[in-house]
Structure 1
């Protein structure tokens, strides 16, 4: 939505509202990713702690929103597979479906990388990640 121009003043309220909505949506995606990451680690690994760089999931959430917005079904038609790569081996930790009532049209693979400095008790993740989008017609 463009800014509203009244005479010689410009209102940025519509722009701020759009940014706030995107920020809230990114926060929801980030919280969901964090939740499934911890449940996946708890289920499949024997780590007691997980250390994740501060903005990694936030950046990944924004990338997911960007990739899912490129398809007409948007985020609600997106399925996200969360992987952990450790020493060249990849393990699927979780799957996130935004709307289980919809058939997914966009598939996103998010791969997080284990930091070699991790030990058996603490899973330390890199700040980098890989993300890949696959679409069905």
Structure 2
């Protein structure tokens, strides 16, 4: 019910402004805080690193093979896509909270994969 009344008030106020008369109860919007340059730079850097997974996957394969010994190239592409999506989410202010939570979850996933990783020989087989 309160939302309907709020809509009516906003609609009435916008009509009054369009007609040229000042509104009865002016609304003061708080100024927006400046956007975080660090967060934008981090997000773009993460997205750029993710894009590099597609342009030069062979550079990421040795590191990826430690955590993902099977289908390493596929996991390289998956990690690249994840980093692009999370990086773009962190870059933009509206999606930054979701991107930050996703990034923390992604770090936890990678940490779990690397902590349980087994050493890999050059041939790609697991060394025991």
- TM-score, reference length from structure 1: 0.26
Name the one with the larger strand percent: 1
Name the one with the larger helix percent: 2
- TM-score, reference length from structure 2: 0.27
